[in-house]
Structure 1
Amino acid sequence: MRLDKFLADTTDLTRSLATKAVKQGRVLVNGEKPKSASAKVDESDEVTLDGEVLTLESGFRYFIMNKPLGHVCTHRDSTHPLVFDLLDGVVNRMDLHTVGRLDMDTTGLLLITDDGQWSHHLTSPKHHQPKTYRAWLAEDLRTDAEEKLAKGIVLEDDPEPTKPAQLERVTEREVLLTIHEGRYHQVRRMFAALGNHVEKLHREKMGCMQLDPALKEGEFRPLTDDEIDALAHG
Protein backbone atom coordinates (compact mmCIF):
# COMPACT_ATOMS: atom_id res chain seq x y z
CA MET A 1 0.00 0.00 0.00
CA ARG A 2 1.21 3.50 -0.79
CA LEU A 3 2.15 5.56 2.24
CA ASP A 4 -0.24 8.41 1.37
CA LYS A 5 -3.17 5.98 1.16
CA PHE A 6 -2.15 4.37 4.46
CA LEU A 7 -2.14 7.81 6.11
CA ALA A 8 -5.52 8.70 4.59
CA ASP A 9 -6.98 5.39 5.84
CA THR A 10 -5.69 5.80 9.39
CA THR A 11 -6.11 9.53 10.00
CA ASP A 12 -8.38 12.40 9.02
CA LEU A 13 -5.85 13.53 6.41
CA THR A 14 -6.69 13.55 2.74
CA ARG A 15 -4.09 12.03 0.45
CA SER A 16 -2.87 15.49 -0.56
CA LEU A 17 -2.51 16.51 3.09
CA ALA A 18 -0.79 13.19 3.79
CA THR A 19 1.73 13.99 1.06
CA LYS A 20 2.30 17.39 2.64
CA ALA A 21 2.83 15.80 6.08
CA VAL A 22 5.48 13.49 4.61
CA LYS A 23 7.30 16.43 3.01
CA GLN A 24 7.18 18.27 6.34
CA GLY A 25 8.95 15.35 8.03
CA ARG A 26 6.02 14.59 10.34
CA VAL A 27 5.85 10.96 9.18
CA LEU A 28 8.29 8.19 10.05
CA VAL A 29 8.38 4.64 8.73
CA ASN A 30 10.27 2.30 11.04
CA GLY A 31 11.89 5.35 12.63
CA GLU A 32 13.10 6.88 9.38
CA LYS A 33 11.78 9.65 7.16
CA PRO A 34 10.42 8.21 3.90
CA LYS A 35 11.67 9.66 0.63
CA SER A 36 8.16 10.28 -0.69
CA ALA A 37 4.46 9.69 0.00
CA SER A 38 4.45 7.05 -2.74
CA ALA A 39 6.69 4.74 -0.69
CA LYS A 40 5.24 1.29 -0.09
CA VAL A 41 4.31 0.12 3.43
CA ASP A 42 2.73 -3.05 4.78
CA GLU A 43 1.48 -4.48 8.10
CA SER A 44 5.01 -5.17 9.31
CA ASP A 45 5.99 -1.50 9.11
CA GLU A 46 5.60 0.93 11.99
CA VAL A 47 4.24 4.21 10.71
CA THR A 48 4.01 7.26 12.98
CA LEU A 49 2.53 10.71 12.49
CA ASP A 50 3.81 13.37 14.87
CA GLY A 51 5.15 10.57 17.06
CA GLU A 52 1.84 8.64 17.25
CA VAL A 53 1.79 5.06 15.96
CA LEU A 54 -0.90 4.53 13.33
CA THR A 55 -2.87 1.31 13.04
CA LEU A 56 -4.83 0.27 9.98
CA GLU A 57 -8.21 -1.06 11.00
CA SER A 58 -9.45 -4.11 9.14
CA GLY A 59 -13.04 -5.13 8.60
CA PHE A 60 -16.24 -3.17 8.84
CA ARG A 61 -17.16 -0.72 11.59
CA TYR A 62 -20.42 -0.59 13.53
CA PHE A 63 -21.56 2.09 15.99
CA ILE A 64 -24.62 2.95 18.03
CA MET A 65 -25.36 6.61 18.76
CA ASN A 66 -27.89 8.46 20.88
CA LYS A 67 -28.73 11.05 18.24
CA PRO A 68 -29.31 14.54 19.61
CA LEU A 69 -31.86 17.08 18.45
CA GLY A 70 -30.94 19.29 15.51
CA HIS A 71 -28.44 16.99 13.78
CA VAL A 72 -29.00 15.55 10.31
CA CYS A 73 -28.10 12.10 8.96
CA THR A 74 -26.09 13.19 5.94
CA HIS A 75 -22.49 14.02 5.10
CA ARG A 76 -23.22 17.49 3.76
CA ASP A 77 -25.56 20.21 4.96
CA SER A 78 -24.94 23.92 4.71
CA THR A 79 -27.18 24.82 7.64
CA HIS A 80 -27.35 22.05 10.25
CA PRO A 81 -24.74 20.04 12.18
CA LEU A 82 -24.14 16.44 11.08
CA VAL A 83 -24.31 13.27 13.15
CA PHE A 84 -20.93 12.32 11.67
CA ASP A 85 -19.38 15.41 13.27
CA LEU A 86 -20.04 13.74 16.63
CA LEU A 87 -17.79 10.75 15.84
CA ASP A 88 -14.72 12.06 17.62
CA GLY A 89 -11.65 9.93 17.00
CA VAL A 90 -13.21 7.97 14.14
CA VAL A 91 -11.26 8.23 10.89
CA ASN A 92 -12.64 8.04 7.35
CA ARG A 93 -16.07 9.17 8.46
CA MET A 94 -17.05 9.80 4.83
CA ASP A 95 -17.05 6.01 4.36
CA LEU A 96 -19.75 5.59 7.02
CA HIS A 97 -23.50 5.88 6.60
CA THR A 98 -26.50 5.78 8.90
CA VAL A 99 -28.74 2.72 8.88
CA GLY A 100 -31.88 4.50 7.78
CA ARG A 101 -32.36 8.06 8.93
CA LEU A 102 -33.78 10.01 11.81
CA ASP A 103 -34.98 13.46 10.85
CA MET A 104 -33.49 16.56 12.41
CA ASP A 105 -36.24 16.81 15.05
CA THR A 106 -36.05 13.15 16.13
CA THR A 107 -33.65 11.86 18.79
CA GLY A 108 -32.55 8.43 19.95
CA LEU A 109 -31.12 5.20 18.61
CA LEU A 110 -29.08 5.53 15.44
CA LEU A 111 -26.90 2.82 13.91
CA ILE A 112 -23.88 3.83 11.82
CA THR A 113 -21.70 1.54 9.70
CA ASP A 114 -19.70 1.08 6.51
CA ASP A 115 -21.13 -2.41 5.94
CA GLY A 116 -23.66 -1.98 3.16
CA GLN A 117 -24.98 -5.55 3.24
CA TRP A 118 -25.59 -5.43 7.01
CA SER A 119 -27.29 -2.07 6.64
CA HIS A 120 -29.48 -3.33 3.80
CA HIS A 121 -30.64 -6.27 5.91
CA LEU A 122 -31.82 -3.89 8.63
CA THR A 123 -33.60 -1.49 6.30
CA SER A 124 -35.00 -3.81 3.63
CA PRO A 125 -38.83 -3.86 3.73
CA LYS A 126 -38.90 -7.65 3.28
CA HIS A 127 -37.26 -8.17 6.66
CA HIS A 128 -39.86 -6.06 8.54
CA GLN A 129 -37.42 -4.96 11.23
CA PRO A 130 -39.48 -3.42 14.07
CA LYS A 131 -38.68 0.10 15.25
CA THR A 132 -40.08 1.46 18.50
CA TYR A 133 -40.55 5.18 19.09
CA ARG A 134 -41.61 7.12 22.16
CA ALA A 135 -43.85 10.01 21.08
CA TRP A 136 -45.20 12.95 23.03
CA LEU A 137 -48.44 14.28 21.54
CA ALA A 138 -50.07 17.70 21.47
CA GLU A 139 -53.50 16.34 22.39
CA ASP A 140 -55.00 13.35 24.20
CA LEU A 141 -54.94 10.23 22.06
CA ARG A 142 -58.27 9.18 20.58
CA THR A 143 -59.86 6.10 22.16
CA ASP A 144 -59.75 3.94 19.04
CA ALA A 145 -56.10 4.67 18.13
CA GLU A 146 -54.85 1.16 18.96
CA GLU A 147 -57.44 -0.44 16.70
CA LYS A 148 -56.83 1.91 13.78
CA LEU A 149 -53.05 1.54 13.94
CA ALA A 150 -53.30 -2.24 14.24
CA LYS A 151 -55.38 -2.37 11.05
CA GLY A 152 -53.19 0.07 9.13
CA ILE A 153 -54.11 3.61 8.20
CA VAL A 154 -53.89 5.65 5.02
CA LEU A 155 -51.45 8.55 5.16
CA GLU A 156 -51.82 11.81 3.30
CA ASP A 157 -50.45 11.59 -0.26
CA ASP A 158 -49.95 7.82 0.10
CA PRO A 159 -52.74 5.48 -1.04
CA GLU A 160 -51.12 2.35 0.40
CA PRO A 161 -52.17 1.74 4.04
CA THR A 162 -49.44 1.36 6.63
CA LYS A 163 -48.52 -2.07 7.89
CA PRO A 164 -50.08 -3.01 11.24
CA ALA A 165 -48.42 -1.12 14.11
CA GLN A 166 -48.53 -1.69 17.86
CA LEU A 167 -49.38 1.14 20.25
CA GLU A 168 -48.82 1.25 24.01
CA ARG A 169 -50.16 4.16 26.04
CA VAL A 170 -47.90 5.49 28.75
CA THR A 171 -50.25 8.41 29.34
CA GLU A 172 -52.89 9.93 27.09
CA ARG A 173 -50.19 12.11 25.54
CA GLU A 174 -47.13 9.86 25.78
CA VAL A 175 -47.07 6.63 23.81
CA LEU A 176 -44.80 3.89 22.50
CA LEU A 177 -45.36 3.01 18.85
CA THR A 178 -43.75 0.06 17.06
CA ILE A 179 -43.75 0.10 13.27
CA HIS A 180 -42.41 -2.41 10.75
CA GLU A 181 -41.56 -0.22 7.77
CA GLY A 182 -39.80 3.06 7.17
CA ARG A 183 -41.76 5.58 5.15
CA TYR A 184 -40.87 9.26 5.09
CA HIS A 185 -41.71 10.88 8.45
CA GLN A 186 -43.96 7.90 9.03
CA VAL A 187 -44.63 8.18 12.77
CA ARG A 188 -45.48 11.87 12.58
CA ARG A 189 -47.74 11.27 9.58
CA MET A 190 -49.51 8.37 11.31
CA PHE A 191 -50.48 10.51 14.27
CA ALA A 192 -51.45 13.34 11.93
CA ALA A 193 -53.84 10.89 10.25
CA LEU A 194 -55.36 10.33 13.70
CA GLY A 195 -55.89 14.08 14.10
CA ASN A 196 -52.96 14.61 16.44
CA HIS A 197 -49.51 16.21 16.35
CA VAL A 198 -46.17 14.82 17.53
CA GLU A 199 -44.37 17.40 19.64
CA LYS A 200 -41.36 15.23 20.46
CA LEU A 201 -40.12 11.92 19.02
CA HIS A 202 -37.44 9.55 20.29
CA ARG A 203 -36.42 6.16 18.86
CA GLU A 204 -35.79 3.60 21.59
CA LYS A 205 -35.38 0.32 19.70
CA MET A 206 -34.48 -1.03 16.27
CA GLY A 207 -34.72 -4.74 15.62
CA CYS A 208 -33.36 -6.46 18.72
CA MET A 209 -31.25 -3.42 19.67
CA GLN A 210 -32.34 -1.25 22.57
CA LEU A 211 -30.83 2.21 22.99
CA ASP A 212 -27.96 1.93 25.47
CA PRO A 213 -29.07 3.84 28.60
CA ALA A 214 -25.43 4.69 29.32
CA LEU A 215 -25.22 6.82 26.18
CA LYS A 216 -26.04 10.46 26.70
CA GLU A 217 -27.36 12.52 23.79
CA GLY A 218 -24.62 12.91 21.21
CA GLU A 219 -22.56 10.01 22.55
CA PHE A 220 -21.72 6.82 20.65
CA ARG A 221 -19.86 3.55 21.07
CA PRO A 222 -18.86 0.58 18.89
CA LEU A 223 -21.31 -2.31 18.80
CA THR A 224 -20.14 -5.57 20.32
CA ASP A 225 -19.68 -8.66 18.14
CA ASP A 226 -22.76 -10.23 19.74
CA GLU A 227 -24.86 -7.13 18.98
CA ILE A 228 -23.66 -7.02 15.37
CA ASP A 229 -24.47 -10.69 14.89
CA ALA A 230 -27.87 -10.45 16.60
CA LEU A 231 -28.92 -7.54 14.38
CA ALA A 232 -27.68 -9.35 11.26
CA HIS A 233 -29.86 -12.37 12.03
CA GLY A 234 -32.86 -10.59 13.49
Structure 2
Amino acid sequence: MAINRSRLDKFLSERFNIKRKDVRLLLAQKRVLVDEQLALDVDLIIDTFSLITVDGEIVQNNQAKYVMLHKPVGVVSATKDDIHQTVIDLLDFPYKHSLHIAGRLDLNSSGLLLLTNDSRWSEKLSKPNSKVAKIYQVTLGNKLTNDMISAFLTGMYFEFENITTKPAKLEILSEHIARVELVEGKYHQIKRMFGRFRNPVVKLHRQSIGSLALDENLKPGESRELSSFEVNSI
Protein backbone atom coordinates (compact mmCIF):
# COMPACT_ATOMS: atom_id res chain seq x y z
CA MET A 1 0.00 0.00 0.00
CA ALA A 2 1.47 3.33 -1.04
CA ILE A 3 1.62 5.91 1.73
CA ASN A 4 -0.54 8.68 0.28
CA ARG A 5 -0.13 12.01 2.05
CA SER A 6 -2.78 14.69 1.76
CA ARG A 7 -4.22 17.76 3.43
CA LEU A 8 -7.09 16.90 5.74
CA ASP A 9 -9.51 19.29 4.00
CA LYS A 10 -8.74 17.76 0.59
CA PHE A 11 -9.25 14.24 1.91
CA LEU A 12 -12.59 15.02 3.56
CA SER A 13 -13.79 17.08 0.59
CA GLU A 14 -13.19 14.15 -1.76
CA ARG A 15 -14.47 11.54 0.67
CA PHE A 16 -17.82 13.25 1.33
CA ASN A 17 -18.07 15.10 -2.00
CA ILE A 18 -18.41 18.44 -0.27
CA LYS A 19 -16.75 21.81 -0.76
CA ARG A 20 -13.64 22.82 1.15
CA LYS A 21 -15.58 25.55 2.99
CA ASP A 22 -17.92 22.86 4.31
CA VAL A 23 -14.92 20.93 5.60
CA ARG A 24 -13.81 24.05 7.49
CA LEU A 25 -17.22 24.16 9.10
CA LEU A 26 -16.88 20.51 10.21
CA LEU A 27 -13.56 21.32 11.85
CA ALA A 28 -14.86 24.52 13.46
CA GLN A 29 -17.72 22.51 14.94
CA LYS A 30 -15.16 20.12 16.44
CA ARG A 31 -16.64 17.08 14.69
CA VAL A 32 -13.40 15.64 13.30
CA LEU A 33 -10.73 13.60 15.10
CA VAL A 34 -7.38 12.55 13.64
CA ASP A 35 -5.54 9.84 15.55
CA GLU A 36 -7.98 10.42 18.42
CA GLN A 37 -7.03 14.11 18.64
CA LEU A 38 -9.38 16.98 17.83
CA ALA A 39 -8.57 18.31 14.34
CA LEU A 40 -8.97 22.07 13.84
CA ASP A 41 -6.37 22.81 11.17
CA VAL A 42 -7.44 22.45 7.51
CA ASP A 43 -3.75 22.27 6.56
CA LEU A 44 -3.15 19.20 8.71
CA ILE A 45 -1.26 16.54 6.75
CA ILE A 46 -2.68 13.04 7.04
CA ASP A 47 -1.59 9.77 5.44
CA THR A 48 -2.87 6.30 4.64
CA PHE A 49 -2.55 5.14 8.25
CA SER A 50 -4.11 8.18 9.96
CA LEU A 51 -7.19 7.22 11.99
CA ILE A 52 -9.93 9.66 10.98
CA THR A 53 -13.40 9.90 12.53
CA VAL A 54 -16.26 12.30 11.81
CA ASP A 55 -19.14 12.57 14.28
CA GLY A 56 -17.83 9.44 15.98
CA GLU A 57 -17.96 7.39 12.76
CA ILE A 58 -14.70 5.92 11.42
CA VAL A 59 -13.85 7.33 7.99
CA GLN A 60 -10.39 5.77 7.67
CA ASN A 61 -8.72 3.12 9.79
CA ASN A 62 -5.98 1.43 7.77
CA GLN A 63 -3.51 -0.56 9.84
CA ALA A 64 0.14 -1.03 8.91
CA LYS A 65 0.94 -4.73 8.62
CA TYR A 66 4.33 -6.45 8.72
CA VAL A 67 4.83 -10.17 8.06
CA MET A 68 7.81 -12.54 8.22
CA LEU A 69 7.70 -15.57 5.92
CA HIS A 70 10.02 -18.57 5.71
CA LYS A 71 10.09 -18.77 1.93
CA PRO A 72 10.62 -22.27 0.54
CA VAL A 73 12.42 -23.13 -2.68
CA GLY A 74 10.10 -23.27 -5.69
CA VAL A 75 7.81 -20.44 -4.62
CA VAL A 76 8.04 -17.19 -6.56
CA SER A 77 8.45 -13.81 -4.84
CA ALA A 78 5.46 -12.17 -6.50
CA THR A 79 1.87 -11.28 -5.69
CA LYS A 80 0.58 -13.00 -8.85
CA ASP A 81 2.00 -15.65 -11.18
CA ASP A 82 0.30 -17.81 -13.78
CA ILE A 83 2.77 -20.67 -13.45
CA HIS A 84 4.23 -20.90 -9.96
CA GLN A 85 2.82 -20.73 -6.46
CA THR A 86 3.46 -17.27 -5.00
CA VAL A 87 4.46 -16.19 -1.52
CA ILE A 88 1.03 -14.56 -1.16
CA ASP A 89 -0.55 -17.97 -1.71
CA LEU A 90 1.28 -19.24 1.38
CA LEU A 91 -0.17 -16.60 3.70
CA ASP A 92 -3.26 -17.04 5.86
CA PHE A 93 -4.01 -13.43 6.74
CA PRO A 94 -7.25 -11.72 5.64
CA TYR A 95 -5.27 -8.68 4.46
CA LYS A 96 -2.66 -10.66 2.49
CA HIS A 97 -3.61 -9.19 -0.90
CA SER A 98 -2.76 -5.69 0.36
CA LEU A 99 0.85 -6.69 1.01
CA HIS A 100 3.90 -6.20 -1.15
CA ILE A 101 7.35 -7.78 -0.86
CA ALA A 102 10.20 -5.94 0.85
CA GLY A 103 13.26 -7.52 -0.78
CA ARG A 104 12.66 -10.47 -3.08
CA LEU A 105 14.24 -13.89 -3.20
CA ASP A 106 14.44 -15.76 -6.48
CA LEU A 107 12.56 -18.97 -7.22
CA ASN A 108 15.34 -21.33 -6.11
CA SER A 109 16.30 -19.39 -2.96
CA SER A 110 14.84 -19.80 0.52
CA GLY A 111 14.74 -18.06 3.86
CA LEU A 112 13.62 -14.78 5.37
CA LEU A 113 11.12 -12.78 3.32
CA LEU A 114 9.35 -9.67 4.60
CA LEU A 115 5.99 -8.41 3.40
CA THR A 116 4.14 -5.22 4.31
CA ASN A 117 1.55 -2.68 3.21
CA ASP A 118 3.78 0.14 4.47
CA SER A 119 5.73 1.43 1.47
CA ARG A 120 7.82 3.85 3.54
CA TRP A 121 9.12 0.96 5.63
CA SER A 122 9.91 -1.23 2.63
CA GLU A 123 11.62 1.64 0.79
CA LYS A 124 13.79 2.26 3.84
CA LEU A 125 14.94 -1.36 3.75
CA SER A 126 15.75 -1.30 0.05
CA LYS A 127 17.54 2.04 -0.28
CA PRO A 128 21.33 1.52 -0.73
CA ASN A 129 22.20 4.41 1.60
CA SER A 130 20.25 2.77 4.42
CA LYS A 131 22.99 0.09 4.52
CA VAL A 132 20.69 -2.60 5.92
CA ALA A 133 22.82 -5.76 5.93
CA LYS A 134 21.41 -9.02 4.60
CA ILE A 135 23.07 -12.31 5.56
CA TYR A 136 22.88 -15.47 3.45
CA GLN A 137 24.14 -19.01 3.87
CA VAL A 138 25.39 -20.24 0.53
CA THR A 139 26.20 -23.79 -0.54
CA LEU A 140 28.59 -24.05 -3.48
CA GLY A 141 29.22 -26.76 -6.03
CA ASN A 142 33.01 -26.43 -5.77
CA LYS A 143 35.40 -25.77 -2.90
CA LEU A 144 35.70 -22.27 -1.50
CA THR A 145 39.08 -20.53 -1.59
CA ASN A 146 40.53 -17.67 0.42
CA ASP A 147 41.00 -15.43 -2.63
CA MET A 148 37.21 -15.18 -2.83
CA ILE A 149 37.17 -13.35 0.52
CA SER A 150 39.25 -10.44 -0.76
CA ALA A 151 37.38 -10.32 -4.08
CA PHE A 152 34.03 -9.98 -2.31
CA LEU A 153 35.45 -7.35 0.04
CA THR A 154 36.93 -5.31 -2.80
CA GLY A 155 33.80 -5.41 -4.93
CA MET A 156 33.28 -6.70 -8.45
CA TYR A 157 32.66 -4.80 -11.65
CA PHE A 158 29.75 -5.93 -13.83
CA GLU A 159 30.09 -4.53 -17.32
CA PHE A 160 26.49 -5.09 -18.40
CA GLU A 161 25.10 -2.66 -15.78
CA ASN A 162 28.37 -0.68 -15.54
CA ILE A 163 28.41 -1.07 -11.76
CA THR A 164 30.83 -2.14 -9.07
CA THR A 165 29.35 -4.00 -6.15
CA LYS A 166 29.74 -2.57 -2.67
CA PRO A 167 32.09 -4.42 -0.29
CA ALA A 168 30.63 -7.73 0.85
CA LYS A 169 31.78 -9.98 3.69
CA LEU A 170 32.45 -13.62 2.87
CA GLU A 171 33.07 -16.08 5.69
CA ILE A 172 34.06 -19.64 4.80
CA LEU A 173 32.23 -22.08 7.09
CA SER A 174 33.34 -25.30 5.41
CA GLU A 175 34.72 -26.44 2.07
CA HIS A 176 31.41 -25.82 0.30
CA ILE A 177 29.43 -23.55 2.65
CA ALA A 178 29.88 -19.80 3.16
CA ARG A 179 28.14 -16.94 4.92
CA VAL A 180 27.79 -13.80 2.82
CA GLU A 181 26.78 -10.37 4.12
CA LEU A 182 25.58 -7.73 1.64
CA VAL A 183 24.27 -4.18 1.99
CA GLU A 184 22.74 -4.20 -1.50
CA GLY A 185 20.89 -6.66 -3.67
CA LYS A 186 21.76 -6.50 -7.35
CA TYR A 187 20.18 -8.96 -9.76
CA HIS A 188 21.37 -12.49 -8.85
CA GLN A 189 24.34 -10.78 -7.20
CA ILE A 190 25.65 -13.65 -5.08
CA LYS A 191 25.35 -16.18 -7.89
CA ARG A 192 27.12 -13.84 -10.30
CA MET A 193 29.91 -13.07 -7.83
CA PHE A 194 30.64 -16.74 -7.27
CA GLY A 195 30.27 -17.20 -11.00
CA ARG A 196 33.46 -15.19 -11.44
CA PHE A 197 35.21 -18.15 -9.86
CA ARG A 198 33.21 -20.70 -11.89
CA ASN A 199 31.69 -21.89 -8.64
CA PRO A 200 27.95 -22.57 -9.00
CA VAL A 201 25.56 -21.78 -6.16
CA VAL A 202 23.68 -24.93 -5.15
CA LYS A 203 21.63 -23.43 -2.30
CA LEU A 204 20.98 -19.86 -1.23
CA HIS A 205 19.24 -19.20 2.09
CA ARG A 206 18.66 -15.74 3.59
CA GLN A 207 19.14 -15.82 7.35
CA SER A 208 18.59 -12.22 8.35
CA ILE A 209 17.83 -8.65 7.30
CA GLY A 210 19.42 -6.07 9.56
CA SER A 211 18.96 -7.18 13.16
CA LEU A 212 15.93 -9.30 12.25
CA ALA A 213 16.70 -13.01 11.92
CA LEU A 214 14.41 -15.66 10.49
CA ASP A 215 12.36 -17.15 13.33
CA GLU A 216 13.75 -20.64 13.87
CA ASN A 217 10.26 -21.84 14.82
CA LEU A 218 8.91 -21.08 11.36
CA LYS A 219 8.98 -24.05 9.03
CA PRO A 220 9.28 -23.48 5.27
CA GLY A 221 6.03 -21.94 4.08
CA GLU A 222 5.02 -20.66 7.53
CA SER A 223 4.67 -17.01 8.48
CA ARG A 224 3.82 -14.70 11.36
CA GLU A 225 3.33 -11.01 12.03
CA LEU A 226 6.26 -8.96 13.29
CA SER A 227 6.15 -7.39 16.73
CA SER A 228 6.40 -3.61 17.09
CA PHE A 229 9.92 -4.08 18.44
CA GLU A 230 10.94 -6.06 15.36
CA VAL A 231 9.41 -3.51 12.99
CA ASN A 232 11.34 -0.68 14.60
CA SER A 233 14.59 -2.62 14.89
CA ILE A 234 15.41 -2.44 11.16
Cα deviation for residue 159 of structure 1 reads 2.7
**How big is each residue's C-alpha offset from its partner over 1:165-196, in whole Å with a ceiling of 9 and x where there is no partner?**
00111102100000111111111111112221
Alignment TM-score, normalising by the size of structure 1: 0.72
**Structure 1 vs Structure 2 CA RMSD:** 1.8
Query: 1:220 — aligned with what?
Result: 223
Pair 1:66-2:33 in alignment = no
Q: 1:57 to 1:194 in 2, by over 3 A?
A: farther
State which drifts further: 190-199 or 109-118: 190-199
Helix, strand or coil: the match of 2:94?
coil
Q: 1:169 to 1:230 in 2, by over 3 A?
A: same
Q: Is the CA contact (8 Å cut-off) linking 1:62 and 1:228 kept in structure 2?
A: yes
Cα distance between partner residues in 1 of 2:97 and 2:217: 26
Query: 1:179 — aligned with what?
Result: 182
Give the letter aligned to residue 114 of structure 1: N
Which structure has greater strand proportion?
2
**How big is each residue's C-alpha offset from its partner over 1:44-69, in whole Å with a ceiling of 9 and x where there is no partner?**
xxxxxxxxxxxx97420001111011
State how 1:114-133 maps to structure 2 within 5 Å. Answer: 114-133=117-136
Query: 1:111 — aligned with what?
Result: 114
The structure 1 segments of at least 4 consecutive aligned residues displaced by more than 6 Å after TM superposition are none
Identity %, equivalent residues = 37
Query: 2:87 — aligned with what?
Result: 83
Q: 1:114 to 1:210 in 2, by over 3 A?
A: same
Cα distance between partner residues in 2 of 1:119 and 1:218: 21
Give the letter aligned to residue 86 of structure 1: L
Give the letter aligned to residue 229 of structure 1: N
Cα distance between partner residues in 2 of 1:193 and 1:157: 14
Match of 2:101 among 78, 95, 98: 98
Structure 1: give runs of 5+ residues left out of the alignment: 1-41, 44-55
Cα distance between partner residues in 2 of 1:172 and 1:57: 53
Cα deviation for residue 125 of structure 1 reads 1.1
Cα distance between partner residues in 1 of 2:223 and 2:97: 17
Helix, strand or coil: the match of 1:105?
coil
Cα distance between partner residues in 2 of 1:57 and 1:109: 29
Give the letter aligned to residue 95 of structure 1: S
Cα distance between partner residues in 1 of 2:102 and 2:63: 18
Cα deviation for residue 156 of structure 1 reads 5.7
Helix, strand or coil: the match of 1:203?
strand
Helix, strand or coil: the match of 1:218?
coil
Cα distance between partner residues in 1 of 2:159 and 2:88: 32
**How big is each residue's C-alpha offset from its partner over 1:120-164, in whole Å with a ceiling of 9 and x where there is no partner?**
000111112111110000000133111111100123623321100
Pair 1:141-2:144 in alignment = yes
Cα distance between partner residues in 2 of 1:219 and 1:94: 17
The number of residues matched between the two structures is: 178
Give the letter aligned to residue 147 of structure 2: D
Give the letter aligned to residue 128 of structure 2: P
Give the letter aligned to residue 150 of structure 1: L
Match of 2:167 among 160, 164, 168: 164
Cα distance between partner residues in 2 of 1:158 and 1:218: 34
Alignment TM-score, normalising by the size of structure 2: 0.72
